[in-house]
Structure 1
């Protein structure tokens, strides 16, 4: 390819489409957290009940991760995400109709099932569409939308809940989900199938080390999992994801309640305060974990050590949340939480790019599913355990301390077990190869 000609940038439109899905996905998730003070007051829920209610989403979401990864590997990102977007639109609307603890819990479980394929399929699609030199930035755009959803979604949901009632906030999220379902149906194809991707850009993507479409060479389905679980790198990723998931879920679910109940601010004030740490997290992820890391790797710095150093720094900064234990002033609490979320979010693109970087060909969705299963399993523990700790101690101090211990464990696991970011060995052949999305979907193959 002529290096003097600029490479078209259509792949970034696909990246933004995938990011928009995560954005809508997380607005669906946070709606309950934002509306929880109203719902808790209306139905007389205890902190323990509220913790279990927050966990309802994660029980099904976590256990559906590995099957979702297998579905993404078998049928492709396009087909898997099409089904997912339709289901999460329906389940978002059901939250507006729910009555009592059982009704809310059931609706949240259905939402967890519907949204489970989003990260395995989205990570797989990112691997198809972006070369390794752009993988950090692409993953940052994809994952930072989860943080930005809190910046925009929290005040928006709070505004609707305060003025129209909490049920209307769920009607709003269902409408957002429906709009995204239509956009994804119309806009997404894999690179080899997309009519708007030029041959020049496709060659650039492939030459840069994008994940290959086609037949899986690493066996099929569940048979790959025992081999993957024998790899040190996979266990490093698993334990790192557990620490990350515990921390992130704690703040995603409990921060509005923490500000209202412990720091005694109003619901609308809490929404404004929450915008600050999530805004810092969004910027940290995009510019440090995404752009800066990719820029350093392109300049010749060692890929493994550059990414690993940012991971370690991010986990260390995440422990700044301990500072919030020693203050009852909202401003100072938000300051320490902002450092914590901003630091760990700067490491998030590296965390989320690891499955596509180390997975054998054809099983990137499965590796992501395994990692995200553990990620959200830790989230279940975080939501439920926090409810018990707050009830027993009367504050969030013990909950923040537990999250810090998890980060230390994740730091050690990644430092020791993830020696490099190269693919692990492929498992022995175990049956017929699995047709991936490039072969399972309609349309001409791009030459």
Structure 2
């Protein structure tokens, strides 16, 4: 049977994970991420219905959406820490059940206050899923595939957003807004029921399933989250690049409406195509990173520099051109490459931190992505747009990628030294991390 061979650096245990099982783990974990974002974004599709039925203001509607992001930002780190400590599979299952039940609560809410509480609980359930989920995924695949898996997993958020808005709008059009929420909830509950039956902690990480590290050892592992210049650069570079990608995604419908004269429906459709290009770029650029850098993981950083500078050039050219098909094509190409840094950045974080705290490490990456990119990008661009217009603001946004390239260049200078220091650490917290071989092996049954 084809397997992935996982070697622990301290030789305390040697385990193999069947390839087929590894991909089943990925599919189920990715499916729950899709459910996560479908439950989060279905609200946007039913805004007009809620506004009309409950006579809500735009501020109230915005708060229903913003409370989810706020809870994710506040709780990602502590909940990921708990998941690393007490079991990732169990934690992911509980998270999925909570956000699905909370989404079902949205379907039966009778007033704004009940809807607000339900949305708050959706945010609590979703807070740490992305970071803990990607930690589970990278634990069952070779180290050489980390950029691919990181990028593919992160892209699930974009695909889930598109599916949530599209399917939610379709269900709402046919049956009303309550069935739209209920449909998202039932999908999540079904996956949450299946997940712990198939994904077992002892199968994806036998050593961690047998014994947990002592508190002092675990504390030493936690220090790998911020102990190297390379890993801090990965956080910063990833976050700043999402300043560009996140801003274009948020403001693109408005840009198309103002400068192309498109209606809301058509502008949303074109913007969705750009989002899909961005998600596809995450995956394909991650695959390219792993293929080209199989024997030299540090080359992934060089590719991250290339991705950021190329996206800067393409998007700058696009927004300098007059409106038209050529501009839209260049925007799609620029966004395809702009998100390519997600895979290399995720691989850097996985390689530079102890595996026993990978959930917390990816929570830190998520925190940086939100605080440096996804949260300030749309707000800052909106403020600049008020002063000089959205078209001129868009000409400035891609320049942030130049700073991103400088940050990754700094990381490249220190990467080998930081990796060597991590690998030479005699503490079990580092030595016990599963260092996955760069090649899969064939095991005889």
TM-score, length basis structure 1: 0.76
2:103 equivalent among 92, 95, 105: 92
Residues in 1 aligned to 2:342 and 2:326: alpha-carbon distance in whole angstroms: 24
Q: Give the equivalent residue in structure 2 for 1:365.
A: 359
Deviation larger for 251-260 or 212-221: 212-221
Structure 1 residue 239, shift from structure 2 partner = 0.8
Q: Give the equivalent residue in structure 1 for 2:275.
A: 278
Residue correspondence of structure 1 range 209-358 to structure 2 within 5 A = 215-216=212-213, 219=216, 228-251=225-248, 253-256=250-253, 258-260=255-257, 263-290=260-287, 292-298=288-294, 300=295, 302-305=296-299, 307-319=300-312, 320-322=314-316, 325=319, 329=323, 331=325, 334-358=328-352
Residues in 2 aligned to 1:99 and 1:256: alpha-carbon distance in whole angstroms: 31
Structure 1 residue 26, shift from structure 2 partner = 2.0
Contact 1:237 1:414 in 2 (8 A): yes
Q: Give the equivalent residue in structure 2 for 1:445.
A: none
Contact 2:73 2:127 in 1 (8 A): yes
Structure 1 residue 28, shift from structure 2 partner = 2.4
Task: Work out whether 1:178 is the aligned partner of 2:189.
Answer: yes
Contact 2:151 2:342 in 1 (8 A): yes
Contact 1:140 1:285 in 2 (8 A): yes
The runs of 5 or more residues in structure 2 that have no matched partner are: 4-17, 434-445
Residues in 2 aligned to 1:367 and 1:322: alpha-carbon distance in whole angstroms: 33
Structure 1 residue 331, shift from structure 2 partner = 4.7
Structure 1 residue 115, shift from structure 2 partner = 0.8
Structure 1 residue 70, shift from structure 2 partner = 0.8
Alignment CA distance shift 1:262-1:64 (3 Å): farther
Deviation larger for 336-345 or 78-87: 336-345
Q: Over residues 240-299 of structure 1, what are the superposed CA-to-partner deviations in whole Å (9 max), with x where a residue is unaligned?
A: 232134334435545445545664434442343234223323333333322x2222234x
Residues in 1 aligned to 2:369 and 2:139: alpha-carbon distance in whole angstroms: 23
Aligned-pair Cα RMSD in Å: 4.2
Alignment CA distance shift 1:405-1:68 (3 Å): farther
Structure 1 residue 117, shift from structure 2 partner = 1.8
Q: How many residues align?
A: 413
Deviation larger for 353-362 or 146-155: 146-155
Q: Give the equivalent residue in structure 2 for 1:407.
A: 401
TM-score, length basis structure 2: 0.76
Residues in 1 aligned to 2:399 and 2:218: alpha-carbon distance in whole angstroms: 35
Structure 1 residue 343, shift from structure 2 partner = 0.4
